[in-house]
Structure 1
Amino acid sequence: MIRNYIKTAWRNIKKHAGFSLINAGGLTLGIASCLLLLLYVSYHLNFDHQFKNLDNIYLVENNQPGDGKIYTFAATPKQAAFSIKEEIPGVVQTARVISYNADGLLTYNNNSFKKAGLFADPAYVSILSYHFLEGSAASALTKPNSIIITKDLAHTLFSDGEAMGKILTRNNKSPLMVTGVIDNVPANATFQFDFIIPWTLFEAENPWTKDAGWGSNYARTFVQLKDAASLAQANRVMKGMVERHDKNDKNELFLFPFAKVHLYSTFENGKSVGGMISQVHLFEILALCILLVACVNFMNLSTARSEERAKEVGIRKAIGSSRKLIISQFITESMILSFLSTIVAVAVMILVIPPFNNYFNIKMSFPYSDWTAWVFIIGLAAVAGFVSGSYPAFYLSSFQPIKVLKGMFKGGKGALSVRKVLVVLQFGLAVFLITATICIYRQIRYIQDKPIGFDKNNMVEISTEGNLDKKSDVFIDELKRKGAITSGTQLSMSISETGNNTWGVEWQGKQPDQKILFEILNTGFDFTKTTGVKLLAGREFTNGYSADTAGTTMMINETTAKLMNLKQTVGAEIKWGGRPYTIIGVYKDFVRGSPYQKVPPMISTFVGNGSDEIDLRLNPEKSITACVDEINRTLKEINPAYPPVINFVDSDFAKKFENEKVLAMLANLFGGLAIVISCLGLFGLAAYAAEQRTKEIGVRKVLGASVSNLAALLSKDFLVLVSIAIVLAVPVSIWSLSKWLNNYEYHVALSWWIIALAGLITIVVALLTVSFQAVKAALANPVKSLRSE
Structure 2
Amino acid sequence: MLSNYLKLAYRNLLRQKFYTAINIVGLTLGITCCLLIFLFVKNELSYDRFHAQGDRIYRVLRVASINGDKAKIPYVSGPYAPALRNDFPGDVKAAVRVMSTNALFSYQDKTFKEDRVFITDPNFLEVFTFPLVQGDPRQVLADPNNVVISEAMAQKYFGSENPVGKLLTLDKTQTCKVSGVMANVPENSHLKFDFIFSIKDYEGQDWFQRWNNNAMFTYVLLAEQTNLQNLMAQFPAFMEKHQGAEAKKEGQRMTLDLQPLLAIHLDTNTQFDFAEQGNKSNVYIFSAIAVFILLIACINFMNLASARSAGRAREVGVRKVLGAYKQHLIGQFLSESTLLTFIAVALSFGLIILILPYFNAFTEKHLVIPFTSPGLYAFLVGITLVVGLLAGSYPAFFLSSFQPVKVLKGRLASSAGHPVLRKALVVAQFSLSIFLMIGTAVIFRQMDYVQHKNLGFSKEHIIRIPLDNSEIHDHRQAFMNRVKQLPGVQAVSVMSGEPGGFHDKYVFAVTDKPNETWSFRTAFSDVNYLPTLGIKLVAGRNFSKSFATDSVAAILLNETAVKNLGWTPQEALGKELVDPSHWAEQQVPRRRKVIGVVQDYHFSSLKEAIEPLVITMRRDHRLVAIRLAPGNPKPALAAIETVYKQLAASYPFQYTFLDESFDQLYKSEQKQAQILTVFAVLAIFIACLGLFGLALYSTEQRRKEIGIRKVLGASVGGLVTLLSQDFLKLVLLANVLAWPLAWWAMHQWLQDFTYRVELSAFIFIVAGIVALLIAIATVSLQALKVAVANPVNALRDE
Shorter-normalised TM range = over 0.9
User: Which one is further off, 375-384 or 31-40?
Assistant: 375-384
2:528 to 503, 526, 529: 526
The question of 1:475 aligning with 2:483 is answered: no
Structure 1: distance between partners of 2:624 and 2:527: 11
Equivalence for 1:614: 624
C-alpha offsets along residues 674-728 of structure 1, whole Å, 9 cap, x if unaligned? 1211111111001000111010011111111111111111111111111222112
For 1:563 and 1:728, locate their aligned partners in 2 and report how far apart those are by CA, in whole Å: 45
Give matches, 1:368-767, under 5 Å.
368-412=371-415, 415-464=418-467, 465-503=469-507, 505-510=508-513, 512=515, 514-543=516-545, 545-549=547-551, 551-564=552-565, 565=567, 568-577=571-580, 578-606=589-617, 611-620=621-630, 623-767=632-776
| CA displacement at 1:420 relative to structure 2 | 1.4
**Which deviations, in whole Å up to 9, do the C-alpha atoms of 1:496-540 show, x marking residues without a partner?**
21242211x12222251x342211211123212211122333433
Equivalence for 1:108 = 107
- Does the 8 Å contact 2:77/2:209 carry over to 1? no
2:62 is equivalent to residue 62 of structure 1: yes
Shift in alpha-carbon separation, 1:491–1:145, aligned structure 2, 3 A:
same
| SS in structure 2 of the partner of residue 788 of structure 1 | coil
1:236 aligns with 2:233: yes
Q: Does the CA-based 8 Å contact 2:310-2:416 persist in structure 1?
A: no
Distance 1:121 1:490 in 2: 34
- Provide closer, same or farther for how the CA distance between residues 781 and 517 of structure 1 changes in structure 2, counting only shifts above 3 A: same
CA contact (8 A) 1:553 1:582 kept: yes
Deviations 1:152-190 (A, max 9, x none): 111111112111122212222232221222111222221
SS of aligned partner of 1:517: strand
Q: Distance in 2 between matches of 1:30 and 1:323?
A: 31
Q: Is the 8 A contact 1:93 1:225 kept in 2?
A: yes
Tell me, in whole angstroms, the C-alpha distance in 2 between the residues paired with 1:217 and 1:440: 35
CA contact (8 A) 2:503 2:523 kept: no
Q: Which residue of 2 aligns with 1:305?
A: 308
Whole-angstrom distance in 1 between the partners of 2:175 and 2:560 = 47
Structure 1 SS opposite 2:266:
coil
CA distance in 2, matches of 1:423, 1:44: 34
Distance 1:585 1:60 in 2: 39
Alpha-carbon distance between aligned partners in 1 of 2:500 and 2:169, rounded to the nearest angstrom: 31
In the aligned structure 2, how far is the partner of 1:786 from the partner of 1:201? 96
1:239-254 mapped onto 2 (5 Å cutoff): 239-248=236-245, 249=247, 250-254=253-257
After superposing the two structures, state which structure 1 stretch, 168-177 or 340-349, moved more.
168-177
DSSP 3-state at the match of 1:732: helix
Q: Is the 8 A contact 1:558 1:586 kept in 2?
A: yes
Q: 3-state DSSP class of the match of 2:713? A: coil
Q: Among residues 280, 285, 288, which one is paired with 1:285 in the alignment?
A: 288
Aligned equivalents of 1:36, 1:104: Cα separation in 2: 38
**1:490–1:607 contact (8 Å) kept in structure 2:** no
- Give the structure 2 partner of residue 271 of structure 1: none
Query: What is the match of residue 11 of structure 1?
Result: 11
Matched length: 774
2-structure distance, mates of 1:237, 1:660: 40
Residues 1:7 and 1:492: Cα distance change in structure 2 (over 3 Å): same
Please state how far the C-alpha of 1:343 moved relative to its aligned partner: 0.9
Deviation at 1:228, TM superposition (A): 6.3
Report the AA paired with residue 532 of structure 2.
T
Deviations 1:449-470 (Å, cap 9, x if unpaired)? Answer: 2221221111101112231112
The 3 A distance-change label for structure 1 pair 659 and 240 is: farther
| 1-structure distance, mates of 2:449, 2:330 | 55
Does the CA-based 8 Å contact 1:132-1:180 persist in structure 2? yes
1:296 paired with 2:306, answer no
| Secondary structure of the corresponding residue to residue 555 of structure 1 | strand
The aligned amino acid for 1:367 is P
* Pairs within 5 Å for 1:23-38: 23-38=23-38
After TM superposition, give the deviation of residue 203 of structure 1 in Å.
5.6
Report if aligned partners of 1:484, 1:631 keep a CA contact under 8 Å in 2.
no
- The answer on whether the counterparts of 2:145 and 2:177 sit within 8 Å (CA) in structure 1 is yes
Letter in 1 for 2:685: V
Query: 2:221 corresponds to which residue?
Result: 224
What is the TM-score of this pair, normalised by structure 2? 0.93
Deviates further, 4-13 or 411-420: 411-420
The equivalent of 1:96 in structure 2 is 97
How far apart are 1:605 and its partner, in Å?
Answer: 2.4
Question: 2:224 & 2:671 partners in 1: Cα distance?
Answer: 37
| SS of corresponding position for 2:556 | strand
CA contact under 8 A between 1:136 and 1:180: conserved in structure 2?
yes
Amino acid at match of 2:393: S
1:387-434 deviation digits (Å, cap 9, x = unpaired): 111211121122222222233322536722221111111111112111
Whole-Å separation in 2 of the counterparts to 1:476 and 1:267:
35
| 3-state secondary structure, aligned to 2:418 | helix
1:113 and 1:220 map into 2 onto residues whose CA distance is: 26
**Does the 8 A contact of 2:103 with 2:113 survive in 1?**
yes
Distance 1:161 1:652 in 2: 39
**Equivalent AA in structure 2 for residue 324 of structure 1:** Q
Q: TM-score, normalised by structure 1?
A: 0.94
Q: Is the 8 A contact 2:306 2:417 kept in 1?
A: no
Give the structure 1 partner of residue 180 of structure 2: 180
**What is the Cα deviation at residue 279 of structure 1?**
2.2
Q: Report the CA distance between 1:200 and its aligned residue.
A: 3.3
Q: Percent identity?
A: 34
Mapped partners of 1:187, 1:265: distance in 2? 19
User: Which letter maps to 2:364?
Assistant: N
**Contact map agreement 1:119 1:201 (CA 8 A) in 2:** no
Shift of 1:208: 5.5
210, 213, 219: which one aligns with 1:212: 210
SS in 2 for 1:107: strand
For 2:21 and 2:529, how far apart are their aligned partners in 1? 65
Task: Rate the CA distance shift 1:368–1:723 in 2: closer, same or farther, 3 A.
Answer: same
* C-alpha spacing 1:592/1:120, structure 2 compared with 1 (3 Å): farther
What's the offset of the Cα at 1:552?
3.2
What is the rounded CA distance, in whole Å, between the counterparts of 1:607 and 1:771 in structure 2? 71
CA RMSD of aligned residues (A): 2.1
Task: Report which stretch shifted further, 252-261 or 730-739.
Answer: 730-739
Contact 1:434–1:758 (CA under 8 A) maintained in structure 2: yes
User: Residue 494 of structure 2 aligns to a residue in which SS?
Assistant: strand
Shift of 1:592: 2.2
Does residue 321 (structure 1) correspond to residue 331 (structure 2)? The answer is no
Where 1:246 maps in the other structure, the secondary structure is helix
**Contact 2:298-2:391 within 8 A present in 1 as well:** yes
Q: How does 1:153-172 map to 2 (within 5 A)?
A: 153-172=153-172
Contact 2:334–2:396 under 8 Å retained in 1? yes
Secondary structure, in 3 states, of the residue corresponding to 1:640?
Answer: coil
3-state SS of the aligned residue for 2:608?
A: coil
Compared with structure 1, are the counterparts of its residues 411 and 41 closer, same or farther at alpha carbon in structure 2 (3 Å cutoff)?
A: farther
Kindly state the Cα deviation for residue 590 of structure 1 after the two structures are TM-superposed: 2.1
* Paired residue secondary structure (1:642): coil
- Is the CA contact (8 Å cut-off) linking 2:202 and 2:208 kept in structure 1? no
Q: Distance in 2 between matches of 1:488 and 1:785?
A: 82
